[in-house]
Chain A
Amino acid sequence: MATRAIDTTTTVVRRKTLGETYIGEWLMTTDHKKIGIMYIVTGFFFFFVGGMEALLIRTQLAVPDGKVLTPQEYNAVFTMHGVTMIFLFVMPTLTGFGNYVVPLMIGARDMAFPRLNAFGYWLVLFGGTFIQSSFLFGQPPDGGWFQYAPLSEMSCGVHAAACTPGMNADFWVLGTLLLGVSSIAGSLNFVVTIFKLRAPGMSINRIPLFTWMTLVTAFLLLFALPSLTAAGGLLLLDRHLGTHFYQAAFHGDPLLWQHLFWSFGHPEVYILILPAFGMISEILPVFSRKPIFGYTFIAWSGVAIGFLSFTVWAHHMFAVGLPPIAQAFFATSTTLIAIPTAVKIFNWVATVFGGKLNLKVPMLFALGFVAMFLIGGLNGAALAVVPFDYQVTDTYFVISHIHYVLFGGTAFAIFGGMYYWFPKMTGKLFNERLGQLHFWLMLIGANLAFFPMHNLGLLGMPRRVYTYPAYLGWNELNLLSSIGAFTIGLSIMVFLFNLVVTLKNGQPAGDDPWDAYTLEWDTSSPPKKYNFLTLPIVRSRRPFYDKKYPEIADWKQVIH
């Protein structure tokens, strides 16, 4: 006789809500790790956009009398290259790493204000899209990333000559305003998270150095951005409501823009580099198998740099005719800021010195950072000397300096951080050989691209020129620089290929592939949504090292 089993269990079938779908999870997420990944992906997307713009510039300048871009297009492309790389690549990517790593490093389960965190990210995405959409309107910002007034006004002078009558400058002002709101949201979140959500025992003297530098950066943003917002607000009033804050012909002051902009702009340089310092301070000790040398000096030199960064802005303006006393002050403060910066370099070198070096890709990028940033720092110190600055201001020497700092420095650190924390984010290890190829191509490309710019600057090639005649002796150096830029492009292609290969068939990383020291590695890869099952107790600056090696734990050896 046939029998039939009756299933007594009941199943409730319902449609998934938006938040339960794969796309919805990302759109509605408030998880700091997902938001961090979205920041990084967005940052890298804009890196490719800004990189394309860089290649256009270098194609135009590769040979004399270049015809690839018109002067107007060239203005837009170099402006958007700067805006994209600074506001849409470096800042979001560093914020992304901070978002992902900082709560894990300090033993927290999320950021203090998760929704505000999500809001900050979406503003970056939409604000970036807003600025880039200016190309669709045919009116991209074209007055440089600094948008000097009165050039960025609708009209200039008593005869009302047209300056920037279109929407170009408006896109810049409103776009940076949106991105500024995002940065304020992110900074508030970092400050509160780091002060209030640290694991038990993690005193301020035990927080990891990347967290330290993120904290200093957050304060810099909070204090520097109002200046940019005020400058942009006044420019909008000038442009649309008939005020004349920046027009000398109407008793305004064109230098007011420069003061307001650079009192944001120079702290901004440190906003772009301090988190990179933090990343390097995490990577070097792990791959040298030593604790960081001079933790306290590195941490507090970061704070010193933060303070001093607000006192140096007019070194961007030596050539405008500042009074001698102002020149002396700003030259001195600029030279002073080299001291805490050099302290960091010495500490990094001392960390590596005598260590058991493990030259994996993150370490290569970290060492590359130290070398490249050193060059950028030295030519920066040269620019602090007023008579020398007079000679090379607004030449390619300055372009070389900023690229050694922001590409040789920050971009190298970002890639170092990417190779270092990618296994934690995805559970997969990058292909080591492809990573090494990426590093060497990028190192060679960066030096080929940016070192000749020193000579070009000394030979008098001004920045922002869209072409040059053949008889000035700049041809070979420009060609060399362009070859370097394309070599960097090639290295990025290798990185992209490595990324795709790794995501598809990458070697499993395990939870702690680098035998690291800090708490983010005391989680699964990728970490669970709640990060830690139980909140860790911290007794030294290397809590995960203590846990793995209790017999030689730091807190048993020295007082931390």
Chain B
Amino acid sequence: MLKVSQEQQEPAKEDEQPNQKELQGADETSEPTVSAPKKKRVVKRVPKIDEAVISPRQSFWPLALALALVVLFMGAITNSIIILAIGVVLVLVAILGWSFERR
């Protein structure tokens, strides 16, 4: 969702007022005339970007999970049970951290 800032909305109110030409025309003719139906003015609203809303949040967990996987593989390749166990724990922590992270 894009937010529209307050200051960008305000000019729209001014545009709703009759403009100068229309006022002059009204002075020149005392008789009321049938005027063409007024075109509805389209007011361009420049959306204000709220980075926090449209951009993905930063996250440490992708890095953590990748690192944990490499620790796990390093344990596997060196036949080191300790490194392997640390790797398994780190992988689990990283998956849980990623899963429960506030989006």
Q: Which residues of A are at the interface with B, using a C-beta cutoff of 8 A?
A: 18-19, 24-25, 27-31, 109-110, 114-116, 118-119, 121-123, 125-127, 129-130, 133, 137, 167, 170-171, 174, 177-178, 181, 528-530, 533-534
Contacts and interface: CB of A to CB of B under 8 A. Distances in A.
The 3 residue pairs across chains A and B that have the minimum distance between CB atoms = A122-B66, A119-B62, A114-B56
Interface string B59-103: 111110111011001101110000000000000000000100000
Given A25-B58, A30-B59, A119 B66 contact: yes
A529 B54 CA distance: 10
Nearest to A119: B62
A171 B66 contact: no
Contacts of B58: 19, 24-25, 28-30
B59 A115 contact: yes
A30 B59 CA distance: 7
A123 B69 contact: yes
A209 to B, nearest CB: 27
A140 to B, nearest CB: 13
A115 B102 CA distance: 13
Contacts of A123: 66, 69
Given A130-B70, A174-B73, A178-B70, A110 B62 contact: no
Given A110-B55, A119-B65, A178-B70, A28 B60 contact: yes
18 contacts: A19-B60, A24-B58, A31-B55, A109-B55, A114-B56, A115-B56, A115-B61, A118-B63, A119-B62, A122-B66, A122-B67, A167-B78, A177-B73, A178-B70, A529-B55, A533-B49, A534-B46, A534-B47
A86 to B, nearest CB: 20
Contacts of A29: 58
B47 A533 contact: yes
B63 A171 contact: no
Contacts of A167: 77-78
Contacts, number: 80
Nearest to A137: B78
B54 to A, nearest CB: 5
The size bracket of the interface on B is 20 to 34
**Interface residues of B, dominant DSSP:** helix
A534 B69 CA distance: 39
Contacts of A115: 56, 59, 61-62, 98
Nearest to B59: A115
B51 interface: yes
A439 to B, nearest CB: 36
Given A31-B55, A118-B59, A126 B77 contact: no
Interface of B: 46-47, 49, 51, 54-63, 65-67, 69-70, 73-74, 76-78, 98
Contacts of A25: 58
Contacts of B49: 528, 530, 533
Contact of A126 (B46, B56, B59, B70): B70
Given A115-B56, A118-B62, A533-B49, A170 B70 contact: no
A194 to B, nearest CB: 18
A113 to B, nearest CB: 9
B51 A529 contact: yes
A119 B64 CA distance: 9
Nearest to B61: A115
A114 B98 CA distance: 13
Given A28-B58, A119-B65, 18 more contacts: A19-B58, A19-B60, A24-B58, A25-B58, A28-B60, A30-B56, A30-B62, A110-B56, A115-B61, A118-B62, A122-B63, A122-B66, A126-B67, A130-B73, A178-B70, A533-B47, A533-B49, A534-B46
Given A28-B60, A116-B62, A126-B67, A530 B77 contact: no
A133 B74 CA distance: 10
B74 A130 contact: yes
B55 A171 contact: no
B63 A28 contact: yes
A389 to B, nearest CB: 37
A125 B67 CA distance: 9
Contact of B70 (A129, A137, A528): A129
Nearest to A35: B62
A122 B62 contact: yes
B51 A530 contact: yes
Contacts of A27: 60, 63
With a 10 A CB-CB cut-off, give which of B46, B56, B59 has the most chain A CB atoms: B56
A126 B90 CA distance: 15
A66 to B, nearest CB: 32
A136 to B, nearest CB: 11
With a 10 A CB-CB cut-off, give which of A126, A170, A529 has the most chain B CB atoms: A126
Contacts of B70: 126-127, 129-130, 178
Contacts of B67: 122, 126
Contacts of A119: 62, 65-66
Given A119-B66, A122-B67, A123-B66, A178 B60 contact: no
Contacts of B46: 533-534
Nearest to A130: B70
B90 to A, nearest CB: 12
A110 B54 CA distance: 9
With a 10 A CB-CB cut-off, give which of A27, A115, A167, A171 has the most chain B CB atoms: A115
B96 to A, nearest CB: 14
A454 to B, nearest CB: 40
